[in-house]
Amino acid sequence: MQKMTMAKALNAGLRRALEADPKVILAGEDIGKLGGVFRITEGLQAQFGESRVVDSPLAESGIVGTAIGLAMRGYRPVVEIQFDGFVFPAFSQIVSQLARFHTRTGGRVPMPVVVRIPFGGGIGAIEHHSESPEAYFAHTPGLKVVAPSNPNDAYWMIQQAIQSDDPVIFFEPKRRYQSKGDVDLDARPVPLHAAQITRVGKHATLLAYGPTVPTCLDAADIAAEEGTELEVVDLRTLSPIDWVTVRNSVARTRRAIVVHEAPLSLGMGAELAARLHEELFYVMEAPVLRVTGYDIPYPPARVEEHYLPGIDRVLDAVDRSLAH
């Protein structure tokens, strides 16, 4: 067991994947000598060479397109999109080519490509540097979409994503890069597409992923001081969602609040709410509530704290749910 930041855990996971399989190749803007904007790949080019940790041109569509070609030739490319808002020049490659190729070839050509995307806000960045585009990709059949919330998951999930024969969109919560936690380097990891109950409770379930999981855990700590026991479920995977864990938790607590940074309308919370209402309508004591970002373009850095769902907004939703 080692204590490390999420950034260091991702670096260690990528290093272990590079060591384990010579077909693993990393590519992206400034990921080599610089080690990436967030230093996730720091030191890897020096260890594994420029042919395996590649500084690519500033061309996201070209980066993903090249990764598709490499996968067709038997490699396992891992590409970094420098910031979430920069993924859109590669959107066509991802949803029109990467997501469909395995099916298009009748299963004969797998697409073991990982697209790493730092996402979410909270770092005081400029426009296009703080987005939450996960719903676009979770809506696309053929893609697996995952988002770790802590260093241990980051370490194991990046390796599991690289081992997958399906393309994986790997969302990394950038404001949690420097959060520290214990990483068990030798444990048997949780399956990639399994949700985890990170705190057990009985009065309501908080459903979250990526950057909002720590927010929900902090809210649960405060609620416990007033006698309210909140269960926190870390979804970990947005496509496919682990409905068994989600459904069992909400059936037990009979209340659910979904928390994510992305805008409210047509976000991941909408799918979770719809499915839970369909399957647990006669069990739940209150409607599913959503605590999210607002339906506006991401605001300037000085006011992003008012945009992001915080502890107060989560606890307000809990109070409204318990009032039913």
**Rounded Cα gap, residues 148 and 150, in angstroms:** 6
Degrees, nearest 5: CA angle 293-158-128: 35
Is 129 part of the annotated catalytic residue set? yes
Is residue 53 within 8 A of residue 23, CB to CB? The reply is no
For 128: left if phi > 0, alpha if psi spans -120 to 50, otherwise beta; the answer is left
* Residue/partner pairs of 249-252 with CB below 8 Å, 24 or more apart: 249/197, 249/205, 250/205, 250/276, 250/280, 250/283, 250/284, 251/280, 251/283, 252/202, 252/205
**Rounded Cα gap, residues 251 and 185, in angstroms:** 34
Question: How many CA atoms lie less than 13 Å away from 66 in the CB half-sphere?
Answer: 18
Q: Which of 102, 129, 193, 260 is catalytic?
A: 129
- DSSP letter at 82 equals S
Neighbours of 153 (CB within 10 A): 26
Is residue 41 within 8 A of residue 14, CB to CB? The reply is yes
Neighbours of 1 (CB within 10 A): 9
**Rounded Cα gap, residues 158 and 121, in angstroms:** 21
Residue 269's identity, in one-letter code, is G
Neighbours of 245 (CB within 10 A): 18
Closest CA to 295 of 321, 270, 320: 270
**Rounded Cα gap, residues 127 and 291, in angstroms:** 23
Q: Catalytic positions, please?
A: 129
